[in-house]
Amino acid sequence: MKKHNFNAGPSILPQIAIENTAKAVLDLNGIGLSLLEISHRSKDFQAVIDEAVALFKELLNIPEGYQVLFLGGGASLQFAMIPYNLLSKKAAYLETGVWAKKAVKEAKLFGEVNVVASSADKNFSYIPKNFTVPADADYFHITTNNTIYGTEIRTDFDCKVPLIADMSSDILSRPMDVSKYAMIYGGAQKNLGPAGVTFVIVREDILGKVERAIPTMLDYRTHIKEGSMFNTPPCLPIFTVKETLKWIKSLGGLKVIEKMNIEKAELLYNAIDNSKMFVGTAEKDSRSLMNICFVMKEEYKDKEEAFMEFAKNRGMVGIKGHRSVGGFRASTYNALPKESVEALVACMRDFEKENA
């Protein structure tokens, strides 16, 4: 049976990226050695990381003055590295979900944190509007896509202070203006590659302004100077990131990817909105293209487990909602084919016919 992979992360990857990584594990580019056993300082791996950086810059049209880094520790380590490197007196944060809250918690260890707006009052079901960012903030931090609640910021904010974005789950899902951001970062395990590597796109001129001493490994300037090679980087995940970036380029870039993502999301949201049994949980003007969250209407709550089993028997994988919110979540990342969304919609309609 064909599996339809809606996992939230680690998640579906392009088949070609998986196949090429598997080949490299056995023999990297015909050199007679595995990707897993070569030196990260060899010319063979340097070529891998150089190509990954170049593709990132090309696909996102990254301006001069920015550096692309591949680090360890996930986005969670970045929650602390960002204030360590950038927070002198006060930082501003937009609180739109669990990961934004965790970022706020870490920043408070380093200075004053101004939460300019929060959607906690409605269980993070919307993106706040009409908030004011303090002009004296060292930076303003946002989480662009909220995997647990299915909300997303799909525009690039104009911001008078350095704008920092956690784009773990929607990077490369649409064209964007990188010049509006001082830093973009995220874990790779949604749209880019396997778990184990973190990408950071940082404008160099924001660094070196705090007075505190920064441990060597936690200083972005260390990794810029050493080209992400200060210590051994996560070689295999970086290779897969490179292959995923090559796949995106082969499709025609981010305008094509965005069109595909909109089509997939509209298909599923329309099915939810026209259903007798299912209902979406995110407010319509805040809906994510990457994580589509929905529940059973109150009168059908007792059928949730039955639907999970029904969907599993149809090859649906990973549609159970996050344990903190329940219900269902379909993650429709770049690599998910439209046919998988069509299969889920058919599954929902068939279950509804039999049970509503």
Residue type, 55: L
What is the rounded distance in angstroms from the CA atom of residue 116 to the CA atom of residue 131?
6
3-state SS, residue 140: strand
List 117's β-bridge partners, or say none.
94
What is the rounded distance in angstroms from the CA atom of residue 148 to the CA atom of residue 100?
11
Give the CA angle between residues 289, 291, 293 to the nearest 5°: 115
* Total length of the chain: 356
Which residues are known catalytic residues? 99, 166, 190
Question: How many other CB atoms are there within 10 angstroms of residue 206's CB atom?
Answer: 16
Give the CA angle between residues 166, 227, 191 to the nearest 5°: 35
| DSSP tag of 274 | T
